[in-house]
Amino acid sequence: MPFLTASELYRFYHNGDSETAALRGLSLTLAAGEFVAVTGPSGSGKSTLLACLAGLEEPDGGYVEVMGQRISRRPEKQRAALRARHIGMLMQSANLFEHLSVEGNLQLQMRLAGRVDTGRLEQLLEQMALQSRRYARPSQLSGGEAARAGLAVALSANPAVLLADEPTAEVDAESEADILEYLIARRGPDRAMLIATHSAALAARADRVIQIQDGRLLHG
């Protein structure tokens, strides 16, 4: 069973009489243990694809299944429950609640997934070099710290599927290398990752590269 399946996804945005097709019949699968990079120019549909895969947006056509369960066209409560149980999502921004500390953001995500684990929280803070910043608010973090904290939150409930949208876009080369090495170390038969990226270094380490343009699959 694929960890993630997208079948013939279409997504349209409207502005007055204008219509933009963000996804045009795009299909993909993510197998157990896979690390897949999604590449393509800005505006190609990468962010829309990840939002549909995570159930944050509903496709206008097609469907998504996560761990064998349909997440598309389900009530928001069901989509949120499936997302909390199976998916870790790292967006380009707004990954942390400003009124919570780094530790508080991790604890909240664990509670939502029903997997509160103090040992795992401490492990993530150590792995992301955030022990000294555990009580800091997001506005007090550097770009690299915020990126690592967002990744820690996405992984806090140890999800089967990690979806990340440009996880290294706003960080320096050292932070990019740190994040990449953590992603590589996280590979395993009970986990899968799909990462949208412009980073050649990240794509080079993936098991498979999917290229999209104008909402269509070019290769992968």
The DSSP code sequence of 143-202 is: HHHHHHHHHHHHHTT--SEEEEESTTTTS-HHHHHHHHHHHHHT--TT-EEEEE---HHH
- Separation between Cα atoms, residue 177 and residue 72, nearest integer Å: 34
Calpha distance 100→93 (Å, rounded): 16
Asked if pLDDT for residue 170 goes beyond 80, the answer is no
Q: What angle do CA 143, 149, 153 make, to 5 degrees?
A: 145
Cα distance between residue 172 and residue 175, in whole Å:
5
Q: What percent of the chain has pLDDT over 90?
A: 65
pLDDT average, residue stretch 111-127: 88
Class of domain 4-219: alpha beta
Sheet holding 18-30, edge to edge: 18-30, 4-15, 61-66, 69-70
- What's the whole-model pTM score? 0.90
Name the H helices within 54-168.
Answer: 76-86, 102-113, 118-127, 143-155
User: Is 70 exceeded by the pLDDT of residue 136?
Assistant: yes
Domain boundaries, the chain: 4-219
Tell whether the model's pLDDT for residue 208 goes beyond 90.
yes
Closest of 181, 177, 183, 187 to residue 195, by C-alpha: 183
pLDDT tens string 29-74: 999 999 999 999 988 999 999 999 999 999 999 999 999 999 999 9
What stretch of H or E contains 219? strand 216-219
Distance, in Å, from the CA atom of 83 to the CA atom of 114, rounded to the nearest integer, reads 12
| pLDDT of 220 above 80 | no
